[in-house]
Amino acid sequence: MATAARRASLPLTERDLADLEKLRLQDSPWLRRVREHVGDESLNSEAAILHAVWRIGFDRLTQEVLDEGYAALAASYQTEDERAYQSALRRRSRRHHADRDAV
């Protein structure tokens, strides 16, 4: 684990505390999953567990932001013909589903 640059206070709700208890059990499926994400890091303290969960959550958010950006970039490369084709496919699909549901 990286050396801490600073320690921050983290307010936890009752639910957060209950979830943290699940992570503190050495054989819990939650802790196993955290270890899968962060590797063989030592998760022997509450601070280490919280840091690992923070890292996993932030990495997921980062991936979602990147995916959104890549999708926007890909969409910007579509030509007018490609956009018209995609629009026609969507209209055709909606008509197909409407016809199917009417039966």
The total number of structural domains that make up the chain? 1
Q: pLDDT tier at 98 (50, 70, 90 boundaries)? A: low
More confident residue, 4 or 42: 42
Written as one string, the DSSP assignment of 51-63 is HHHHHHHHHHHHH
Alpha-carbon span 47 to 65, nearest angstrom: 27
Would 3 be classed as within a structural domain?
no
Would 6 be classed as within a structural domain?
no
Q: pLDDT tier at 90 (50, 70, 90 boundaries)? A: confident
If you average pLDDT over residues 49-67, what whole number do you get? 94
Would 8 be classed as within a structural domain?
no
Q: Please give the share of the chain, as a percent, with pLDDT higher than 70.
A: 87
Alpha-carbon span 47 to 51, nearest angstrom: 6
Domain that holds residue 69: 14-102
Can you give the pTM of this predicted structure? 0.64
